[in-house]
Amino acid sequence: MLDLKAVRDNPDWFRTGLGRRGQAEAIDRLLEADARRRELTTRVEALRAEQNTASKAIGSADGPDKQKLIEAVGLVSAELKLVEPELEAVEAGLDRLLAETPNVPHESAADGLEEDDAVELHRGATEIRDFAAEGFTPKDHVALGTALGILDIERAAKVSGSRFVYVLGDMVLLELALVRHALDILMQKGFLPVIPPVLVREEALFGTGMLPDAEDSIYKTQDDLYLVGTSEVSIAGFHMDEILDEADLPLRYAGYSTCFRREAGSHGKDMGGMFRVHQFDKVEMFTFTTPERSWEEHEFILSIEEEIMGNLQIPYRVVNIAVGDLGAPAAKKFDLEAWLPGQDRFRELTSCSNCTDYQARRLNTRYRSGDPALGNVMVHTLNGTATAVGRTMIALLENHQQADGTVVLPEALHPYLPESAHVLTPRT
């Protein structure tokens, strides 16, 4: 959430920043609620002090004076019974406003309120194949996966409903290869591998800003636990309510987990295949760092995502997401969009976001600054997808398919696969 003191000290900066999201009025609502809270707090404190003073005086008074003091205390108590509930309501409203107000976008985040306002920055080295020049029409991943005997969507629908898939045979080995490939790269770059819980409490989801922002897409159990849509949630909560040592930063984690999303409101969109499913696996990067180096870390995470995509020889482009399409916690976000021949367009495969101190303030995660004047400072948190397994397998199948129906997997994955799985072959 935003730093309310900073909003109070420099409201115009926050209005301008959130104005780019179309939410400048949120600052005025915050300031109005904050002013009312401080006004009521002052009044409650004054009444309590008056009540305490009069109550003490009653003990040493007698006669008419004592009766007057009792009456005065009664009047003060009666007013407190009116003012205290109002203060509680105003505080609750202010907390709700803070929870709902998004982060201020970085000045370098792309302008615009729509998804199509994202700005392409550059493309990867792998070129888009000209399948027509090669003499055949590319198939989509569903047709390929069915012919190869590695995907079964019909049986998944029978067992679980739409947006589920059975992954079979060499596709399972491919998934594990993708995970190990990503983890090996991340470990070399200082990330600690983590298999986190996939069921979390409400506090963890609130801390990352998934609540209330993305509530419709989250599964909740009867035990008041939530299934994570990304291991970002579990890892962000790892240091909740902790004070870290500056010398230990940055702390980098690579979380591998199954993820769950309801995809509420997306009926009819990407219904076929495994592009948009309720259950998927992912390797996620998460960093706790200082404000001074968070933007450098953002570029670092992006470079890792590009390295992985380059190794897999997937054509991609990097786009700077428009401020209106940012999630509530993010100040800036890059997407890596892979070219999918089956859809004849670029689609999001991975992303990385700098959430500055927005999540840390909700999670109460700080570090001991070396500057005595600063004391304990909120960390900055960043996240990025190293490998979204399902979508990456789609990109691999579609981009590396051959005219004879085989799929030749990139050499970067060969060390993680049996030789028989270097080339996926249709069932006879």
Say yes or no to pLDDT of 62 above 70. Answer: no
The boundaries of the domain holding residue 226 are: 115-424
109 is a domain residue? no
How far, in Å, CA of 190 to CA of 60, rounded?
70
* Mean pLDDT score across all residues of the chain: 94
Count of structural domains within the chain: 2
Catalytic residue among 276, 293, 317, 368: 276
Nearest Cα to Cα of residue 356 among 385, 333, 337, 334:
333
Residue ending a domain, choose from 49, 75, 100: 100
pLDDT tens, residue by residue, 84-125: 999 999 999 999 999 999 999 999 999 999 999 999 999 999
Q: Which of 294, 351, 353, 366 is an active site residue?
A: 351
SS3 248: helix
pLDDT digits (tens, 9 = 90+) for 360-417: 999 999 999 988 888 899 999 999 999 999 999 999 999 999 999 999 999 999 999 9
Q: What is the pLDDT of residue 267?
A: 59
Considering the domain architecture, whether residues 183 and 311 belong to the same structural domain is answered as yes
| pLDDT attached to residue 66 | 78
Taking the C-alpha atoms of residue 239 and residue 300, their distance in angstroms, rounded to an integer, is 22
Is-cis flag, bond preceding 341, omega within 30? no
Within a domain: 49: yes
CATH number of the domain residue 34 falls in: 1.10.287.40
Tell me, yes or no, whether 353 lies in a domain.
Answer: yes
pLDDT score of 273 more than 80: yes
Pair of tokens at residue 144: 């390929």
Q: Does residue 300 form part of some domain?
A: yes
Catalytic residue status for 351: yes
For this structure, is 296 an active site residue? no
- Whether 366 sits among the annotated catalytic residues: the reply is no
Note if 345 is an active site residue.
no
| pTM more than 0.95 | no
345 beta partners:
340
Q: Please indicate, yes or no, if residue 110 is contained in any of the structural domains.
A: no
* 394, 397, 403, 405 alpha-carbon torsion, rounded to 10°: -110
Collect all residues with Cβ–Cβ distance below 8 Å to 223 and sequence separation of at least 6.
none
Give catalytic status of residue 261 as yes or no: yes
**DSSP conformation letters of 193-239:** EE---SEE-HHHHHHHTHHHHTGGG-EE-TTS-EE-SSHHHHHHGGG
- Confidence (pLDDT) at 73: 79
Residues of the chain above pLDDT 70, percent: 97
- Position 271 confidence tier, pLDDT thresholds 50, 70, 90: low
Mean pLDDT in residue range 296-325: 98
> Can you give the CATH number for the domain in which 258 is found?
3.30.930.10
Question: Would you tell me how many other CB atoms lie within 10 Å of the CB of residue 346?
Answer: 19
**Pairing between strand 243-245 and 366-368?**
parallel
Kindly provide the b/e burial profile for residues 143-178, where b requires at least 16 CB atoms within 10 angstroms of the residue's own CB. bbbbbbbbbbbeebeeeeeebbbbbeebbebbbebb
> Which listed residue (15, 20, 261, 347) is catalytic?
261
Residue 106 lies in a domain: no
**Catalytic residue, candidates 15, 163, 361, 391:** 391
Q: What is the spatial distance between Cα 266 and Cα 273, in angstroms, rounded to a whole number?
A: 14
- The domain boundary residue, chosen from 74, 100, 126: 100
Please tell me the distance from the alpha carbon of residue 55 to that of residue 70, in angstroms, as a whole number: 8
* Pairing mode of beta strands 407-408, 192-194: unpaired
Shared domain for 354 and 250, answered yes or no, is yes
319 and 266 part of one domain:
yes
Answer yes or no: is 225 within a domain: yes
In a shared domain, residues 73 and 132: no
Sheet with 366-368, side-by-side order of all strands: 243-245, 366-368, 376-378
**What gap in Å lies between CA 303 and CA 307, rounded to an integer?**
6
Q: Do 214 and 240 have their domain in common?
A: yes
pLDDT at 288 exceeding the cut of 70: yes
- 247: its two tokens: 């010398």
Handedness of CA 29, 31, 34, 35 (dihedral sign): negative
Residue 80 confidence (pLDDT): 93
Structure tokens at 167: 């992954």
Distance CA 260, CA 141 (A): 21
